[in-house]
Structure 1
C-alpha cells in the first residue's frame, strides 16, 4: 500500500479543527478537496474519523485515540524534511570520532577539547589511532573528522589545508652535526637516519631530494611515530627529520636540538578532512571551526587554546 503523507497533514487538520471547512481553511485548500481527502483517509483506515452529530462533526473513538500520535508523526516528518539549522550548544549531546595523526592529537587535541567543553559540555570526542593501511572510515561515516598530511583524492571527501610546518633536523645535544658551522646536504646525508613511517617504509621524499643532488642517506631503523623516533634519537647519533611544529616539543621536553634542513622541500601540510554528508551539518561545522583554530594555532606555535 502506498502512503500519501499529504493525508497525514489532512488528518491532523481534521482532528484539530473538527470540521471539513475548518481543516480546509487551515491547509489553504478548498472544502471539496478536503472532503475528498477525508474520503481517502476513511478508505485507508477503515474508520469514519469524523461523524455528523446534528450540525457538528464528532471524532470517532479511533480518531480520539490516534490524535496525539498523528500530530507527533506530522511534526517528525516536518522536522526531517525541513530540519532546523539552529544549534543549541548548551544542550547539544553528541559524540564525534576523530582520526588525527598522533602528533596533531598531542599538539591540537587539548586546545580543541578545552574549547568544546567550554561551549558544549554535552559533546564527547573520540580520538582514534591512524591505521597503517588506507581505510574508508570517512566514507562509511565511522570517522567524523580526519587530520593529517594527506590531501584526499576521493571527490566525496572534502578538505581544508589548515596549517603547514617547515621540516627540520632533530638530533640529541652534543650530536656531531651540532658541532659544525653549517649542516650541508652532504653532512646530512652522511649521518645515520631514522625514518618515521607508519607503514615501515625506509624511503620518502627526503631521498628524492637527496638523489637530485647525487646524494644518498642510510636509514637504519623506522619508527611509526615522531615521538618514538625522538626516543631513539635522544640516546644515539641517529637523525630524525620532522615537521618543526612536532619537533618543538621534543626540543623542550627531551632536550633535543633543532637544526635547519639543508634541502629544498615544501613545508609539511596539515589537512582537515570530512565526508561531504557533513557539509551543512551545523554541529559538524561548529566542530570543524574549532578544530581548524586549534590546529592552526598549535602548528604555528601561537598557542594551545582554541577560541
Structure 2
C-alpha cells in the first residue's frame, strides 16, 4: 500500500485542533477538503480518529495513543525536508502552545506576544492554564513551552532557569501590620493567612520555616492563583506571600502594600521547559529566545528591589 505523507500533517492538525474546521484553518485548506482527508485517514487506519460527542469532536483511544508519535514523526519529516539556511520569520506560519503560570502570563505574556507579532506576523500564540495535576503535555506535543516554578523531571524534557525572584508579604493598605517597622516573624505568624496553591494546599515551605522557629500560623484559606489571593487580601486583614517580581504590577494596581518577608528562604526560580524533540527546531529556538528575554526583563528587579521596605502603592 502506498502511503501519503500529507496525511501525517492532517492527522497532527486534527488531533491538535480537535475539529475539522480548526484543522482546515491551520493547514489553509477548505473544510470539505479536510473532511475528505479525514475520511482517507479513517480508511487507511481503520479507526474513526475523531468522533462527535455533542457539539465537539473527541479523539478515539487509538488517536490518543499515537498523538505523540505522530507529532514527533511530522517534525522529523519537516527537519529532513526543510531547506537549509536562516529561518524566514516573515513567512513563518505556526501555532505555539504555551503553558505558563498565570502570574508569568500577566508579567511577561504581553511583551512576548508583541515581539512575536512584530517579527513573525503569521505565528499564533496560545496560552493555556496550568493543570492542578502534573501533565505530560510536553511529551505528547500538546504544549510547546512551559514556564513555572517546578521543572519537569522527565529525562527527555529540557529545562533551564531563566529568572529568580523572592517572596514578599502582601497586605491591604491600612492593615495593622502594614506600618509596623519592622515586620517581625512573631507578628507575621500571629496574623491570619491565605496561601496560593493549585491543589488547594493550606501549608507550604513557609510553615516549615516557621516550625523550625517554634512558631505556627493560621491559614484560613487557599487560592488557586496569585491574582485570587491578592483579591482576598484586598478586602480583609489576611496576609499572603507571593513572588515579588511576578506580582509587582498587580500589587501596585490593587493599591496593596508589599512588606519584606521576615524569614530567610531561597529565591524562587522560574523554569522554562520544552521537549528535546524541539532542540534543533529553528522556529522553536526562536520562540525560546523571545520567551527568555520576556521573562528575564519582566522578572528583573528595579534598582530598589533589594530594599523592599519601600512600600509598593
SS in 2 for 1:246: helix
SS in 2 for 1:179: coil
SS in 1 for 2:80: helix
Q: Distance in 2 between matches of 1:78 and 1:113?
A: 25
Q: Distance in 2 between matches of 1:251 and 1:153?
A: 32
Match of 1:124 in 2: 124
* Mapped pair 1:245 → 2:235: no
TM-score, normalised to structure 2's length? 0.70
Using the TM superposition, name which of 249-258 and 106-115 deviates more. Answer: 249-258
Match of 2:154 in 1: 154
Q: Distance in 2 between matches of 1:283 and 1:244?
A: 32
Sort the Cα spacing of 1:157 and 1:138 in 2 relative to 1 into closer, same or farther, 3 A.
same
| Residues 93-172 of structure 1 mapped to structure 2, 5 A cutoff | 93-172=93-172
* 1:131-161 deviations in Å (ceiling 9; x for gaps): 0001100011110000000122111000110
Contact 2:230 2:251 in 1 (8 A): no
Sort the Cα spacing of 1:80 and 1:179 in 2 relative to 1 into closer, same or farther, 3 A.
closer
Q: Distance in 1 between matches of 2:274 and 2:85?
A: 19
Q: Distance in 2 between matches of 1:109 and 1:213?
A: 39
| Residues 1-307 of structure 1 mapped to structure 2, 5 A cutoff | 80=80, 84-301=84-301
SS in 2 for 1:176: coil
SS in 1 for 2:142: coil
Sort the Cα spacing of 1:289 and 1:226 in 2 relative to 1 into closer, same or farther, 3 A.
same
Contact 1:247 1:258 in 2 (8 A): no
Q: Distance in 2 between matches of 1:78 and 1:263?
A: 51
Contact 1:193 1:220 in 2 (8 A): yes
Q: Could you list the runs of 5+ residues in structure 2 that have no partner in the other structure?
A: 3-76, 303-313
Match of 2:33 in 1: none
Sort the Cα spacing of 1:86 and 1:250 in 2 relative to 1 into closer, same or farther, 3 A.
closer
CA apart distance, 1:301: 4.8
SS in 1 for 2:90: coil
* 1:25-59 deviations in Å (ceiling 9; x for gaps): xxxxxxxxxxxxxxxxxxxxxxxxxxxxxxxxxxx
RMSD (CA atoms): 2.0
* 1:207-243 deviations in Å (ceiling 9; x for gaps): 1111111111111000000000000000100001000
Q: Distance in 2 between matches of 1:286 and 1:197?
A: 32
CA apart distance, 1:81: 6.2
SS in 2 for 1:177: coil
Ranges of 4+ aligned residues in structure 1 off by more than 3 Å? none
Q: Distance in 2 between matches of 1:79 and 1:187?
A: 59
Q: Distance in 2 between matches of 1:182 and 1:198?
A: 31
SS in 1 for 2:177: helix
Q: Distance in 2 between matches of 1:179 and 1:138?
A: 45
